[in-house]
Amino acid sequence: MGMVRQNINKRDIFVACLVLLLGIILFVSAQSIKPGAGMGKGADFMPKLLSFMLLICGLLLLIDALVKEAPVYAAGASLRCDQIIGFLKAFAILFIYIYLMDKIGFLIMSAAYIFLQSWIITPPGRHRPVRLAVISILVSSITYSVFVYGLQLMLPAGILG
């Protein structure tokens, strides 16, 4: 007679299922992107690849959550209110980034997104806005250059184009 495991990590299973659901939604959405006619990879390649990688990550997270024992927390331990607010802010910024990408453009939106997300995860009192701005601009510029000049994939130019 096998022993049924009682200590399942429901939070990790929930997160894994959310990642899987997001991967499925992104993969289905990527199917509507036209490959384009040109040399090299089409415009649909990266979204399909990244959504597939997200599906793999979600599957690995689910397997990990089902295999490992759930941690035992002290009585009354739970998520703090500031953690929940930080998560909601990060999620809101992500959706604003996605929504405004075509209108404003990759370079500006990516720099703003990286800056704001970095600000959220930096502990209070340790914010260095100039440093975050420089890193945000560098990362978005390098990413843009790799995609546009290296992979010959167009990214939304927005108000700059």
pLDDT tens, 130-147?
Answer: 988 998 999 888 888 888
Give the pair of three-digit tokens for residue 72: 């035992």
pLDDT tens-digit series, residues 50-76:
888 888 888 888 888 888 765 655 555
Over residues 2-54, the pLDDT tens digits come to: 444 455 677 788 888 888 888 888 888 888 877 765 656 666 777 888 888 88
How many CB atoms neighbour CB 109 within 10 A?
21
CA dihedral 47, 98, 80, 59 (to 10 degrees): -10
Q: What is the pTM of this model?
A: 0.54
User: CA 17, CA 11: separation in Å to the nearest integer?
Assistant: 10
